[in-house]
């Protein structure tokens, strides 16, 4: 099962994300649930780094992805960071809703 944990600050902004594990929906290489989660999350991380030009803590490896908001961001970049993160989280929640036996989504804080 893929476990998705989201941390929010006191304003409700997403400030941390951890995705861990594999869906085991299908054999490796054909697992559409793992692929959907992975592609969605990695694309947003790449967009934040390459398009928004943010430097922030992120780690991507086999079966694991984590993202943390930078300690300080100018308002314009913070707005983009939170918008892209919320977009990703919307997609991840929908995947979890569609495949509840394979994806566990939880949030804390806010």
What are the tens digits of pLDDT across the range 50-62? 999 999 999 999 9
93 by DSSP, 3-state: which? helix
Whole-number mean pLDDT of the chain?
96
Q: How many CA atoms lie within 13 A of 91 on its CB side?
A: 16
User: Per-residue pLDDT for 101 more than 80?
Assistant: yes
* All domains of the chain in start order, with CATH: 2-100 (3.30.70.1490)
- What does the angle CA 109 – CA 68 – CA 34 come to, to the nearest 5 degrees? 90
Q: What's the farthest any 2 CA atoms get from each other in the chain?
A: 44
Mean pLDDT of 29-58: 96
Check residue 100 and report its DSSP letter. Answer: T
Q: Which helix (H) or strand (E) holds 42?
A: helix 32-50
pLDDT band (50, 70, 90) for residue 28: confident
């Amino acid at each position: 099962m893929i476990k998705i944990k989201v941390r929010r600050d006191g304003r409700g902004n997403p400030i941390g994300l951890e995705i861990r594990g594999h869906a085991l929906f299908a054999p490796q290489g054909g697992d559409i649930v793992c692929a959907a989660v992975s592609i969605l999350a990695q694309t947003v991380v790449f967009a934040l780094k390459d398009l928004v030009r943010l430097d922030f803590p992120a780690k991507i490896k086999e079966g694991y992805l984590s993202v943390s908001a930078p300690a300080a961001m100018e308002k314009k970049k913070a707005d983009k960071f939170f918008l892209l993160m919320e977009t990703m989280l919307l997609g991840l929640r929908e995947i979890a809703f569609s495949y509840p036996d394979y994806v566990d989504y939880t949030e804390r804080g806010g």
